[in-house]
Amino acid sequence: MMVKQHMLFTLYSICGIVLKDIPAVSVAATKNKVRGAQGQFPIVQNMTVTEGGIANLTCRVEHNDNTSLQWSNPAQQTLFFGDKKALRDNRIELVRATSQELTISISEVTLADEGLYTCSLFTMPVKTAKAFLTVLGVPKKPQIKGLTKPAMEGDHINLTCMTSGSKPAADVRWFRNEKEIKGAKEVNASGKTFTVKSSLRLQVDRNDDGVAYTCRVDHVALIATPQQTTEVLEVHYAPRVEIKHSLPIPQEGQYLKLECVSKGNPSPDPVLWTKDGRELPDMDRMIVEGRELTFMSLNKTDNGTYRCEATNHLGTNHAEYVLFVYDPNALEQRGPDHALIGGVVAVVVFVTLCLIIVLGRYLARHKGTYLTNEAKGADDAPDADTAIINADGNHAHAEEKKEYFI
């Protein structure tokens, strides 16, 4: 009887035979067998899997009286009826089949596999549960376009980073070395997947030479290993030159090295050394090695203006160093630093002048006050003596100004 029931339900699920066409005796027998499972419902869970991965679909019931379980795909095609495979697809395999569980696996999942999968429990009536399989589209490795190698200082360039195949849409981010910078993002749908593009507009200068610009793609399917592409910017620019020296006060007999530090791209090699606008004198004490000019033992005849010149195809630049060789004996016998003394004297004179100005303003202000007080009450006086007597300043001390003759 169990074999007959199994065959009937297999025909029902695969061929679509309706229950009313099954003989009454068989239907009655089936009802008797599944009466213990009338209160049971299949239990399933939604699944999320990355494109190319493996999806495991599990259907369970707590109690089952030998009633069959079945998995169907979104197109309602039966995948497995119990432990019997119904659809010829090598990617679909049986993992576990018991009276209480039916688990199948789908390998090499594609975006087309996404949708609602149905687990059916063949009671009377049939009970079903649906699980949604979500397939994440993996974004492709980003590509950077628009980079000119080499770029010239002052050029405007547009960098574009693009990735396709993501589902949902990926996030594209730009980094200048390790620091994130903002780009203009654009998202376009293509079927079930998205193409994401981000643009970056730059005006390059010499500071951009050797800088790494990285485009990184973040996506839920790439949590562990985000995709990224890096391009190193090469910028050509005219040279800049400076001269570094090893002695603060060059003295006769000392060793002196002048280094011509030139920065440019392409590198301005070799550099040209000259003295007072002419070629360097030919002597054993003066050696030129690459960018360095070395004096083995300084002499006063070495005094002059030394010039280092660097050139590449974008321009020429130079720097100068005025060499004055001091007599060490004169330095030892030299008195106090006249420049320092002159500075101190200037400060003292300045402070003295400031004090004189302030004192003059103070005295002038008080003198004006005295004259004003003396003048009060003099307007109506008939003569000068009366004016002095009537002045405000004389009333309080009139007695003190009496004269006594002995």
Three-state SS string over the chain comes to: CHHHHHHHHHHHHHHCCCHHHCCHHHHHHHHHHHHHHCCCCCECCCEEEECCCCEEEEEECCCCCCCCEEEECCCCCEEEECCEECCCCCCEEEEEECCCEEEEEECCCCHHHCEEEEEEECCCCCEEEEEEEEEEECCCCCEEECCCCCEECCCEEEEEEEEEEEECCCEEEEEECCEEECCEEEEEEECCEEEEEEEEEEECCHHHCCCEEEEEEECHHHCCCCEEEEEECCEEEEEEEEEEECCCCCECCCCEEEEEEEEEECCCCCCEEEECCEECCCCCCEEEECCEEEECCCCHHHCEEEEEEEEECCEEEEEEEEECCECHHHHHHCCCCHHHHHHHHHHHHHHHHHHHHHHHHHHHHHHHHHHHHHHCCCCCCCCHHHHHHHCHHHHCCCHHHCCCCC
Helix (H) or strand (E) holding 333: helix 328-333
Do 47 and 85 share a domain, yes or no?
yes
| Res. 402: pLDDT tops 70 | no
Read off the pLDDT of residues 286-313 as tens digits, 9 standing for 90 and up. 999 989 999 999 999 999 999 999 999 9
**190: which 2 tokens?**
């293509």
In a domain, 341, yes or no: no
Please state the separation of Cα 109 from the chain's center in Å: 36
How many angstroms separate the CA atoms of 213 and 198, rounded? Answer: 13
How many angstroms separate the CA atoms of 204 and 237, rounded? Answer: 10
Cβ-contact 292, 285 below 8 angstroms: no
In a domain, 405, yes or no: no
In a domain, 106, yes or no: yes
Do 107 and 128 share a domain, yes or no?
yes
**230: which 2 tokens?**
């890096």
Do 324 and 274 share a domain, yes or no?
yes
Q: Would you place residue 24 in the very low, low, confident or very high pLDDT band (cuts 50, 70, 90)? A: very low
Cβ-contact 66, 99 below 8 angstroms: yes
DSSP H helical ranges for 159-309: none
Q: Which of 187, 218, 233 is the last residue of a domain?
A: 233
Cβ-contact 243, 320 below 8 angstroms: yes
Q: Would you place residue 226 in the very low, low, confident or very high pLDDT band (cuts 50, 70, 90)? A: confident
Task: Please tell me whether the overall predicted TM-score, pTM, comes out greater than 0.75 for this model.
Answer: no
Do 381 and 320 share a domain, yes or no?
no
How many angstroms separate the CA atoms of 291 and 270, rounded? Answer: 7
Q: Which of 202, 233, 264 is the last residue of a domain?
A: 233
Query: What pLDDT, on the 0 to 100 scale, is given for residue 358?
Result: 83
Edge-to-edge strands, sheet with 55-60: 55-60, 101-106, 92-97
Number of domains within the chain: 4
In a domain, 342, yes or no: no
**185 SS3 class:** strand
Do 116 and 22 share a domain, yes or no?
yes
Q: Which range has the worst mean pLDDT, 7-16, 55-64, 251-260?
A: 7-16
In a domain, 321, yes or no: yes
Do 37 and 111 share a domain, yes or no?
yes
Query: What pLDDT, on the 0 to 100 scale, is given for residue 370?
Result: 46
Do 67 and 172 share a domain, yes or no?
no
In a domain, 299, yes or no: yes
Find, among 296, 290, 323, the residue nearest to 307 by Cα: 323
Query: What pLDDT, on the 0 to 100 scale, is given for residue 330?
Result: 76
Do 129 and 150 share a domain, yes or no?
no
Q: What is the mean pLDDT of the chain?
A: 82
In a domain, 50, yes or no: yes
Q: Which range has the worst mean pLDDT, 140-154, 245-259, 355-369, 389-403?
A: 389-403
Query: What pLDDT, on the 0 to 100 scale, is given for residue 351?
Result: 86
Do 76 and 123 share a domain, yes or no?
yes
Phi–psi pair at 128, nearest 5 degrees: -130, 160
| Res. 253: pLDDT tops 70 | yes
Do 39 and 89 share a domain, yes or no?
yes
**96: which 2 tokens?**
């576990």
Q: Which range has the worst mean pLDDT, 103-107, 207-211, 294-298, 351-355?
A: 351-355
**CATH number assigned to the domain comprising residue 101:** 2.60.40.10
3-state helix, strand, coil in the chain (%, to 5): 25, 40, 35
Do 192 and 228 share a domain, yes or no?
yes
Q: Which of 233, 261, 277 is the last residue of a domain?
A: 233
How many angstroms separate the CA atoms of 376 and 384, rounded? Answer: 13
Do 6 and 130 share a domain, yes or no?
yes
Find, among 36, 37, 71, 33, the residue nearest to 55 by Cα: 71
Find out whether the peptide bond into 336 is cis, omega within 30 degrees of 0. Answer: no
| Res. 95: pLDDT tops 70 | yes
In a domain, 402, yes or no: no
Which domain covers residue 212, as residue numbers? 143-233
